[in-house]
Structure 1
Amino acid sequence: MAVVSPSCHCRSGAFWHNLFRLQCILSLLLVAVSTPPEDPVKCASGNTNCTVTNSYGAFPDRSTCRAANVAYPTNEAELVSIVAAATRAQRKMRVVTRFGHSIPKLACTDGKDGLLISTKFLNRTLKADPAALTLTVESGVSLRQLIGEAAKAGMALPYAPYWWGLTVGGLMGTGAHGSSLWGKGSAIHDYVTEIQMVSPGSADEGFVRVRVLNESTLNEFNAAKVSLGVLGVISQVTFKLQPMFKRSLTYVMKNDSDFGDQAMTFGKKHEFADLLWYPTQGKVVYRIDDRVPSNTSGNGLYDFLPFRSQLSAALAIIRSTEETQEALRDANGKCIGAKLITSTLFASAYGLTSNGVIFTGYPVVGNQSRMMSSGTCLDSLQDGMITACAWDSRIKGEFFHQTTFSIPLTRVKDFINDVKALLKIEPKSLCGLELYYGFLMRYVTASPAYLGKEVEALDFDLTYYRSKDPLTPRLFEDYIEEIEQMALFKYNALPHWGKNRNVAFDGVIKKYKNAPDFLRVKEKYDPSGLFSSEWTNQILGLKGNVTIVKESCALEGLCICSEDIHCAPKKGYFCQSGKVYKEARVCARASDTRRVEL
C-alpha cells in the first residue's frame, strides 16, 4: 500500500507530482531488486534469547515479545519431536511464520521462557493430484508458492487474499480471505479438505499427538479451519482446487450517490467483485471481474503497484511529508495527495498489464494464477535497502494502523449512510484514509469454521497513519475512531483476526455462536494451554481483557476513552461523544467543532 502525500506547504506541487510518477515508473522496473523482509524472529545467540515482532516492526501495544529460543523444523518428524519435548517440559509454545504479517500479538508466547516454532522451512509441496483436483502442502508454504504449484499441475485456487506473502498456516490461523459471494465464498479455509495437526499429548502418547482432520471428524475440522494457533501446529494442509480458468477484469469509477444500494447487490452480479470507496471525493471504483471461457484471448497479469518494491529514499520523503502534515494539521495537503494517488492508481490500472509488460486497455484477461494475488516486493534480491516493501520497519517508510471488519450485507447500506453523515460534518476528515487506498471492501460469506464469518457480509479494510510517538494524536482521529466503534458495536461487525487494534477484540468471542464448540476442541487438544498465550486467552474470553487502560491509551486503540487522560488533554484532545453514533467515545480536538470547507 505504497502511498504519497503531497503537502500544500511545498513551493512546487509539480515536484510532488513528478516524484510520485517517478516512483511508479521505477517500481515497474525494480520489481526484482527490492530488499526482502527480514525474519520476524531475532535471537541474541544462535537460536536462543529471542524476540519476535511482525513485518511492520510493532504490535498494537508496542511491546517486545520474548522467548527463550526458536526451533526451525524442516519436516514433520522434527516438528513432532519438538512439540513432544516442549510438552514434556510444560513449556509455552507459539507458531511463527516466515514474514509475520499478523498485526495483533498472535506470535507471542508468555514470559521469556517460551518456545517459538517457525514454519520457515516447512515449505514443501507434498502431493499434487490433478485427477482429484487436490494439492497437499506443508504449512510454511506461501500463498505465492501455493498458487504457482497449483498452476504447474493445471489447477487453480478459486479465491485467495490479494497479498501473496502469507503462509498456509497463517491463512488458516486468521481466516484470511479474498472477495466473493459465489460458491463457498472467498475464505481460503473453506477450500481445505484435510488438515494435519501436531498437538500436545499425554505421557502414554509420548507427549505428542498427530491428528488427521477432515469431514469424518467434522467438529474438530471446523475448529481447526480458523484456529488462532491454539490447537497446536498445522503441519500439512490439503486443498480442493479447480481446473485452471481465466478471468476478465475491468475497473470502473463512478460517483457514490447510490453506493449504499450498489454495495448490497454488486457482489452477486460479479464473481470476484470488490469495491474501493473514496468518500471524500464522492467516488467508488467497481471491480467488474468474472470468469470467461478458457479459450478467451489474453495473458494478463495483476502486479499491484503498492505491493511492488519502492525506493527507500522516496518512501522516506513521503513519510516525512505526512509527518509534517500531521504536525501542521494540513488537511488540504492530505486531500490534494489523496486525489493525486486515486487518479494515478486508476490511470495505471492499479498495476494490471495486458501481457505482463504493458496495459493496453480493458478488459484485462488472464489465467487465475496471474490475476488473483501479488506481492513482488517479497520476491527479490538483497540490494542494500535501496528498495524495499513500503512498510519494511528497517527503513523510514509506511507506519500505519489497520482497522478491518465485516458488516452483515443486510446492514451495509445503513453503515455507508452513517459514514456519509459523519463526513458531512467535516468533509476533509477522511482524506488521510484515501492516502492509503480508501475503503477497500471485499465480499465474504458464512463459513462452517467455528471462528469464521457468521453471515454474508462486506469486509471493510481501513489503513491510516500511525505516529511513531504513541502519545501524539492524529489529525481527525475522532472520525476514524467513531467509524471503528460504530461498525463494531452498532453494526456488530466481526474484526479480522489478523489485523486491527486492541479495541476491536473487546468481547469479540461473544459474537460467534459456535465459540463454545471451538473452546471444547481447544480443551481437548491442549488441556494445559501450552499453545495459548495471554493474548489468545483475552480474545477467546478465557482470562483478562484486551483493553489496556492508561494515559493516552485511546490514541493507539488500546482502549476506548472514558476520561480525558485517555486521550491527550495537554495537546488539546479530549474524550467526547460521537457526532453521528452518539454512543461512541472518541478523542477529539477541542477546536475541531468548526467546519473546514473543501
Structure 2
Amino acid sequence: MKQNKNGVWTSWNENITYNYKSLYKVISEKELQEVVKKSDKIRVFGNKQSSADIASGAATLIDIRSYNKIISFNDSEKTITVQSGIILGDLLETIEEKGWCIPCLPDINTITIGGALATGTHGTSGHLLSEYMIKCKIVLAEGSIKEITETDELINAVRVSLGVLGVLSEVTFKCEPIYTLHIKEGPENDTEWLPKIKERLKKHAFLRILWLPHTDKGYVITGDKIDSNKEITEDLGSEFLKHRRKASKILYKYTHVFPWFTAIANKLLYRGFFSSTKEHKGSLYLATVTKSRGSTLELAEWTIGLDIFPTVFEELKTEINKWSNKSFIHIPMDIRFVYKDKSWLSYAYKQDTVTTGCVSRNAATADTYEAFKSIEKIFLKHGGKPHWAKRFVAKDIELSKVYDKWEDFKALRRELDPTNKFLNPYLTEIFNEKTSN
C-alpha cells in the first residue's frame, strides 16, 4: 500500500481543490479495510470526472484506481466480479472478449466502476448501470465487510449511494450475450422528434437525441439489433466531423462575456457538424461509447418523468430562447432514456424517465454559466432530479420533495456511519447533517 502525505487534490477540470493529510493507493481488500477503519474522515476517488464536489474534501483519501483486478467469471451465469477501481473501458473490453455485454452503457468509458455505480451513471434505452449489479461487498465505517446480494432489500439503497454507506469493494455484474447495432444518425426538427419519442422507444433498441438549443433542431441517433454478419453501407461522414470539439472550444471561448453569441455559434455548429446523416454498425460499446472526453467541460443533468418531458421541454425551450435572458446553452444537450427501477436514490425510481444534459465548454467559467441555474429551476418546478455526479445546488429540503425514499436513506446512512466518516463538506450540506458529530 502506497501513502502520500500533505498534498493537494485537484479535480479533472481544475474547478475543485482540497488539501489532504493522507492519500492511499490500495491493491487489496485487506488494505482497503485497514485504511477505512483507522480514518476519521475519508473519501474515495477515481479519474475525478465528476462535476459535483463528492470525491474529495476529507483528511484521508483513497485513489481507488490501483484496486482494479478482475476477480472471477461465471460462464454459465454470464457474471463477472471485479474490484471497484477498475476502469469501465477495461471491464467492457473484457466482457466483450467473452461474447457478453452490459445492455446499457454510459457515454464515457474512463470512469471507475465504483464511482459510476455510486453516482447513478447511466446510458440510454435501459437501466442505470447499477441495476446490472447483482452482488457487491462494501467496507463499512468500522472496517468490516458486508456482502449484499440482489435478494437483499439493502441492495436498493446501495446501488446508488454516493459512497456514504460504505466503500464499494467487489462488484458482480450480470451480463447478456453480445449483439450488434445498426446505428443511424441525422437531424430532425423539434416538431418531428419530440412527438415520436415513445414510438421510437418501442421500435428501437437504442435511442439518443442530441438537442441543439437555439436551432430548433435535434440530432437523432437510433440503433436496431441486427445479425453481426449483415452488411450495411457505412457512412461516417467527412473527416471534418472529428473536429467538432475543437470548433466548439473556439466558438464558445468568449460566450461567458457575450452569452448571446452562443445562439449564433450553435447555428454554425449545427450546419458544420449536425446537418448530415451517418450510418454504421457495431457492438453497443463500439458504436455508442465515447472513448475520450478530450477537453475539459462542466456538466449538469436533470431527469424528469417520460410522460411530462414534452411539457418541460417546451417550457425550457421558451425560456432559453428569450433574448432578454442570459441562459444561452452550448450544444449539444444530451437527451437519453432510463427505465424504472427500485433503487432509492435512482433518478428512475418507479418511473420511466428522460435525462437532459447541459454542458458548458468553458469549464473555468462554469460558475457564471446561467444555463445551469435556469435548467435547475425549471426541472425542480416539475419534480425533476439532478444527476449526482454533475452540477446542481439543490440540497436536503429540495431533494426530500423529489426522492420518495430520501428520509429512509438518510436514516440508513446514520445507522451505518454514525460518526459521519464518509461525509465531506458538500455531502454534509446535501444531507443536512451540519449539527451532527
Query: Hey, what's the Cα distance between the residues in 1 that align with 2:363 and 2:11?
Result: 17
Does the residue aligned with 1:67 lie in a helix, a strand or coil?
strand
- 1:174-199 deviations in Å (ceiling 9; x for gaps): 0000011xxxx331000111011011
- 1:576-596 deviations in Å (ceiling 9; x for gaps): xxxxxxxxxxxxxxxxxxxxx
Q: Does the C-alpha gap of structure 1 residues 504 and 271 become closer, same or farther in structure 2, counting only changes over 3 Å?
A: farther
| Aligned with 1:484 (options 355, 376, 382) | 376
Does the residue aligned with 2:377 lie in a helix, a strand or coil?
helix
Q: Does the C-alpha gap of structure 1 residues 375 and 509 become closer, same or farther in structure 2, counting only changes over 3 Å?
A: farther
Percent same amino acid among aligned pairs? 23
**How far does residue 48 in structure 1 lie from its aligned partner after superposition?**
0.6
In structure 1, the partner of 2:147 is 212
- 1:397-454 deviations in Å (ceiling 9; x for gaps): xxx5422100111111111221333355339966x52xx4322100012221111122
In structure 2, the partner of 1:227 is 161
In structure 1, the partner of 2:15 is 58
Count the aligned residue pairs.
Answer: 431
Q: Give 5+ residue unaligned stretches, structure 1.
A: 1-42, 202-207, 350-360, 378-388, 392-399, 545-598
1:451 is aligned to 2:315: no
| Aligned with 1:70 (options 13, 18, 23) | 23
Q: Give 5+ residue unaligned stretches, structure 2.
A: none
Query: Hey, what's the Cα distance between the residues in 2 that align with 1:449 and 1:100?
Result: 24
Query: Hey, what's the Cα distance between the residues in 1 that align with 2:281 and 2:416?
Result: 46
**How far does residue 270 in structure 1 lie from its aligned partner after superposition?**
1.9
Contact map agreement 1:260 1:412 (CA 8 A) in 2:
no
- 1:517-542 deviations in Å (ceiling 9; x for gaps): 32333233222221122222221233
Query: Hey, what's the Cα distance between the residues in 2 that align with 1:249 and 1:520?
Result: 45
Contact map agreement 1:280 1:428 (CA 8 A) in 2:
no
Q: If the length of structure 2 is used for normalisation, what is the TM-score?
A: 0.88
In structure 2, the partner of 1:440 is 334
Query: Hey, what's the Cα distance between the residues in 2 that align with 1:319 and 1:151?
Result: 34
In structure 2, the partner of 1:93 is 42
Two-structure CA RMSD over aligned residues (Å): 3.2
Does the residue aligned with 1:507 lie in a helix, a strand or coil?
helix
Q: Does the C-alpha gap of structure 1 residues 366 and 51 become closer, same or farther in structure 2, counting only changes over 3 Å?
A: same
In structure 2, the partner of 1:261 is 195
1:81 is aligned to 2:34: yes
Q: Does the C-alpha gap of structure 1 residues 463 and 198 become closer, same or farther in structure 2, counting only changes over 3 Å?
A: same
| Greater C-alpha radius of gyration | 1
Q: Does the C-alpha gap of structure 1 residues 423 and 487 become closer, same or farther in structure 2, counting only changes over 3 Å?
A: same
1:247 is aligned to 2:181: yes
In structure 1, the partner of 2:138 is 197
1:344 is aligned to 2:241: no
**How far does residue 166 in structure 1 lie from its aligned partner after superposition?**
0.9
**How far does residue 95 in structure 1 lie from its aligned partner after superposition?**
0.8
Query: Hey, what's the Cα distance between the residues in 2 that align with 1:215 and 1:116?
Result: 29
Does the residue aligned with 2:168 lie in a helix, a strand or coil?
strand
In structure 2, the partner of 1:371 is 287
- 1:482-511 deviations in Å (ceiling 9; x for gaps): 3330111x2110000000132477621432
Does the residue aligned with 2:20 lie in a helix, a strand or coil?
strand
Contact map agreement 2:372 2:392 (CA 8 A) in 1:
no
Amino acid aligned to 2:11: N
**How far does residue 325 in structure 1 lie from its aligned partner after superposition?**
4.8
Contact map agreement 2:68 2:84 (CA 8 A) in 1:
yes
Query: Hey, what's the Cα distance between the residues in 2 that align with 1:136 and 1:300?
Result: 36
Query: Hey, what's the Cα distance between the residues in 2 that align with 1:374 and 1:514?
Result: 33
Q: Does the C-alpha gap of structure 1 residues 103 and 84 become closer, same or farther in structure 2, counting only changes over 3 Å?
A: same
**How far does residue 145 in structure 1 lie from its aligned partner after superposition?**
0.7
| Aligned with 1:527 (options 392, 412, 418) | 418
Higher strand residue share: 2
Amino acid aligned to 1:420: K
**How far does residue 299 in structure 1 lie from its aligned partner after superposition?**
11
Does the residue aligned with 2:286 lie in a helix, a strand or coil?
helix
Query: Hey, what's the Cα distance between the residues in 2 that align with 1:536 and 1:130?
Result: 39
Amino acid aligned to 1:209: S
Query: Hey, what's the Cα distance between the residues in 2 that align with 1:199 and 1:298?
Result: 51
**How far does residue 256 in structure 1 lie from its aligned partner after superposition?**
1.3
| Aligned with 1:518 (options 396, 409, 414) | 409
Q: Does the C-alpha gap of structure 1 residues 300 and 71 become closer, same or farther in structure 2, counting only changes over 3 Å?
A: farther
Q: Does the C-alpha gap of structure 1 residues 80 and 429 become closer, same or farther in structure 2, counting only changes over 3 Å?
A: closer
**How far does residue 271 in structure 1 lie from its aligned partner after superposition?**
2.1
Contact map agreement 2:182 2:224 (CA 8 A) in 1:
yes
Query: Hey, what's the Cα distance between the residues in 2 that align with 1:164 and 1:101?
Result: 11
Amino acid aligned to 1:390: S
1:140 is aligned to 2:85: yes
Query: Hey, what's the Cα distance between the residues in 2 that align with 1:299 and 1:142?
Result: 33
Does the residue aligned with 2:191 lie in a helix, a strand or coil?
coil
**How far does residue 341 in structure 1 lie from its aligned partner after superposition?**
2.2
**How far does residue 244 in structure 1 lie from its aligned partner after superposition?**
1.1
Query: Hey, what's the Cα distance between the residues in 1 that align with 2:292 and 2:215?
Result: 30
In structure 2, the partner of 1:381 is none
| Aligned with 2:55 (options 85, 95, 107) | 107
1:154 is aligned to 2:99: yes
1:402 is aligned to 2:402: no
1:494 is aligned to 2:388: no
Does the residue aligned with 1:257 lie in a helix, a strand or coil?
helix
| Aligned with 1:412 (options 296, 309, 329) | 309
Query: Hey, what's the Cα distance between the residues in 1 that align with 2:372 and 2:81?
Result: 42
